[in-house]
Structure 1
Amino acid sequence: MHRPHLTVAEQPSPRTSPSAVRPRVLVVATGRDRGALAAVRAFSAAGWYVGVGTPEGGGVLGSSRACDVTYRVPRPRHDGTAFVDGVRRAVSAGGFDVVFGGGDDWMAALSAYRSQLPLPVAHPAFDVVETILDKVRLAEYAEKAGITSPHTELASDQALADWQGPVVVKCKEHWAPNQTRPLRIEAKLFATAADARPQVERIRAAGAQPILQAPVDGSLGALIGVFHDGRLHGRTQQESTRLWPTPNGASARARTVPVDEELAARVEAMLLELGWHGLVELQFLTGDDGVPYLIDFNGRFYGSLALAESAGHGLVRTWGELTLGLEPPALPDATPGKRYSWFAGDLRRARRERRGGLVRDVAETLRWSLTARHSTWDVTDPRPSVALALGRLRRH
C-alpha cells in the first residue's frame, strides 16, 4: 500500500509550538481551495494550532502564515485506504483534536471513513452528507420545508427525449466511495436536450450520474450560518453581483444584505429534518418574481467564506468549538453592506463581458476590490497570492 510522504518532521516547528490548551485543527483539502484558506486564517486568528493536509503537501493553502504545519494527504479515491492512512499519519504526528474537509469529496470521505479515524470529524453522519450532495433528494427535502427548487430529474434517455426547452446538466452527486476520478463536472446550460446529450454522456463516462434541471433566470445569493440545536447561528445573507465563469459560475463579487426571515425559518426547518449540524451555505437563484430557488447546498468551507468571516463574528471558530463539545458565545447576524472580491475571477469576467467597455469594466473591478475582503489576497498574509501567481505562470 502506498504510504503518503509526511512533509514535516514529527515535532512541530519551534515558532508554532502550541500550549497545552491551544486547540489543534487539521484541514484536508486541495492546495488551491479558497474556502479552506479562509478557514485556516480564521482558525489561526482565533488562536488555534492549524495543520493542513493536501495532495501536494501544502500548495497555496500550506503557504499561508496561518498554517503551522503541512502534511501530504492523498485525494479520497478508490477504496480510501491511502486517504485514511494520510489523515492518520498527520494526526499521529500533530496530535490534532478535530478534522475538517475543504471540498465536497473531502467532507464526504471524512464522514464515510470516520470510524477509521482517531479523532472527531466535524461533518455529519455519511447518510446525511450523502443526502445533501444528491441534488434530487435535496430537492425533495426542500419541497417538504416549503423551499422552491428548480424541477430536477435523472438524465435518463427517456427524460432527454421528453425534455422541452433549455436545460442545465449537472452531476447528481460529487463524491462516492470507490470513485477513481473527480465527479464534480461543471454545470452547463444548453438550449435543447439534444444539445445537452454530449455533456450527459461525458458525465456518465466519468462514472457519475447526470441530472437535468430547469434553468432559473435570476441573481445568485446565499444564506449562511452554523446550524446547532435547531437554529441557524451567525446568519449571513449575501448576494452576488458578478459571477465567473458566466453565467453559471461562482461569486466573483458579493455583498452582505439583511437576512430574509421567512427564508431563514424554512431553511431551519429543512436542516432540522435533514439532521444537519455545522456550517452551511445554501445557494439560491432569485428571479423577477422574487422567489428564491435552491440550487446548491455547501456543507463545508466554500469559495466566498472570507466574506462571512469579515462580516460576522466567527462562524469557523464556532463550528470548531461546537464539534469539540464546547459552548461558544451567541453569534449575531452578519453586518450588511460588507463586500467580497475574487479578484482573479472578476478580472477574467471583465475581459469576457466588457461592461461599458474593457477599460471601464476593469477600472470598476479595481474600485470594488479596494474596499472588499478578498478570497486569497491579504496584506498580512501575502504568500498564498504569490504562490498562486507563480503557479499560474508556470502553467502558462
Structure 2
Amino acid sequence: MPGTDLGLVALSMARDEFPPGTALGTCDPETVRRATDKIELERLAVDAALTTPPGKHITRAELESGAEVPLPAIVKAARTRTPTVDGGFASSAVQRVSSRDELLQAARNVPGEAVLIQPALDGELRASSGVAWRGEVVAIVHQAARRIYPPGRGITAFAETVPPDPQVEPGVRRLIAALGWSGIFQAQFVHSADVSYLIDLNPRMYGSLALAVAAGANLPAIWADLLLGRTPRGGTYRVGARFRSEERDLALLGMSALAGDWRTVIDVLRPRRRTAHALGSLRDPWPLLMSGRVARISRHRAQLAR
C-alpha cells in the first residue's frame, strides 16, 4: 500500500515484477497518471459537477513575458510528480504568492515548462476521504480542518469529522467512478463563501488518516479486505472525532506566540479528549521522537542539493 505519490507511481509501474497472487494496493499506470494530473482533475471535476477554482495553465515563458495573473494566487505543478530525463521524478511544494516577484520565483521552482495557477481562496480546508473498489466508493469520511500550518496555504494541524455534505459527496462519488479508482483516496476542498472548491485529490494514504480510523472507519483495513477478497467491515464513521498533527500544531503554536496571536495559542494548548494523533502514542513514542531527526536530515540533504 503506497503512502506517498512517488511510491504510488513507482508501484503502479512495477506491477508485473511481483509474483502472481501478490495483492498490490495500486491501480494500473494509466489510471494513476490520470489521478495525479492536476489538469485532468479539473476536467474530471467539471464532469462530476464539482466546483474548482478558476485555474490557468500557463508556461514560464508566458509569465516572464508579462502575462497577467490575478494575485494573490496559488502556484502548482501540473502533475504531482513530474518525470525527469534521467528516469526519476521531480516535485515542488504548492506555493502561495502575493506579488509579481514571488509569482515568477515560484514558477521557476516548479518542474516542467508550465504551471497551474489558481486564485488564493480564504476559507476552511475540508476533505472527503474513503476507499473505492473499481470506481465504487465503499466507505467515505468527511472532515474539516480547524487549524492548518502554515496558515493560509498549509496542511491540517487539527481536524474533526463532520456530517456528510450533500452538495459534495455525490460529486466525489462521480469523480471516483470516472477514474475507475480502487484504493484509498482523499478529495480536498476549500469551503469559501458557501461554496466548496475542489483543490486536490490524493489517491493514496494521506496525513490525517488516523482521524478516519479513530472515527470508526478503518480505511486501510477496509482496503486490505477488498484486496484479499474479503467482505469489509466498519464503513460508517462517528461525527466529532478529532485529530492532531503534533508537529504542525507545535509549529503553529510557536508562530502564533511570536505574532502575539494568543487566541490561537490558547486554542492549541487546550486539551481535547478522544483526539487521535499523527505520531504521538504512549504505547509507541518512537515515531514522534524520531520525526525531528528525520526532518533535520531532510533539511540537510536539501541544502546539499542546492
State whether structure 2 residue 236 is matched by structure 1 residue 329: no
How far did 1:338 drift?
A: 0.8
**Correspondence 1:165 to 2:75:** no
Distance 1:370 1:229, change over 3 A: same
Give the Cα separation in 1 of the matches to 2:117 and 2:196: 19
Residue 38 of structure 2 corresponds to residue 132 of structure 1: no
| Aligned pairs for 1:47-126 within 5 A | 100-118=1-19, 119-126=22-29
Q: Deviations over 1:4-51 (max 9, x none)?
A: xxxxxxxxxxxxxxxxxxxxxxxxxxxxxxxxxxxxxxxxxxxxxxxx
Aligned-residue offset at 1:339: 0.8
Which one-letter code corresponds to 1:263 in the other structure?
A: V
Where does the alignment leave 5 or more consecutive residues of structure 2 unmatched?
301-306
Structure 1 residue ranges, 4+ long, deviating more than 6 angstroms after superposition: 393-396
TM score, norm. by length of structure 2? 0.86
Amino acid at match of 2:10: A
**Equivalent residue for 1:238?**
143
1:285 corresponds, among 165, 168, 190, to: 190
Instruction: Tell me: CA distance 1:229–1:113, structure 2 relative to 1, closer, same or farther (3 Å).
Output: closer
Q: Which residue number in structure 2 is paired with residue 197 of structure 1?
A: 104
Residue deviations 1:339-363 (CA, integer Å, cap 9, x gap): 1101221121122134994666444
- The answer to whether the Cα contact below 8 Å between 1:155 and 1:200 also exists between their aligned partners in 2 is no
- CA deviations 1:167-204 (Å, max 9, x no partner) are 21111112245566663311112224553011111224
- In 2, Cα distance between the equivalents of 1:138 and 1:271? 11
Equivalent pairs, count:
293
Aligned match of 1:62? none
Choose 252-261 or 152-161, whichever is displaced more.
Answer: 152-161
Contact kept in structure 2, 1:280 and 1:300, CA below 8 Å? yes
Distance 1:245 1:166 in 2: 16
Q: How does 1:354-373 map to 2 (within 5 A)?
A: 354=257, 357=260, 361-368=264-271, 371-373=274-276
Deviation at 1:155, TM superposition (A): 2.6
Other-structure match for 1:97 = none
Residue among 199, 208, 212 paired with 1:308: 212
- Give, as a single letter, the amino acid of the residue that structure 2 aligns with 1:137: E
Measured in 2, the distance between the counterparts of 1:250 and 1:282 equals 13
Q: Do residues 297 (structure 1) and 198 (structure 2) align?
A: no
Max Rg structure? 1
SS at match of 1:225: strand
Q: Identity of aligned pairs, percent?
A: 28
Q: Cα–Cα, structure 1 residues 151 and 387, in superposed 2: closer, same or farther, change >3 Å?
A: same
Q: Secondary structure at 2:279's aligned position in 1?
A: coil
Residue number in structure 1 paired with 2:303: none
Partner residue, 1:142: 45
In structure 2, C-alpha distance between the alignment counterparts of 1:244 and 1:101, rounded to whole Å: 24
Is the Cα contact below 8 Å between 2:83 and 2:90 reproduced in 1? Answer: no
* Conserved 8 A contact 2:76-2:93: yes
* CA apart distance, 1:129: 1.1
SS at structure 1 position matched to 2:159: strand
Contact in 2 for aligned 1:376/1:384 (Cα 8 Å):
yes
Structure 1 residues 105, 389: closer, same or farther in 2, change over 3 A? Answer: closer
Amino acid at match of 1:322: L
Summarize the Cα distance change of 1:201–1:372 in structure 2 as closer, same or farther, 3 Å threshold: same
Q: Shift of the alpha carbon at 1:217? A: 1.8
For residue 311 of structure 1, report the CA deviation from its aligned partner: 0.4
The aligned residue for residue 304 of structure 2 is none
TM-score, normalisation: structure 1: 0.68
Indicate how the Cα distance of structure 1 residues 208 and 243 shifts in structure 2: closer, same or farther if over 3 A, else same: farther
CA gap of 1:190–1:369, structure 2 versus 1, over 3 A, is same
1:208 deviates by: 6.9
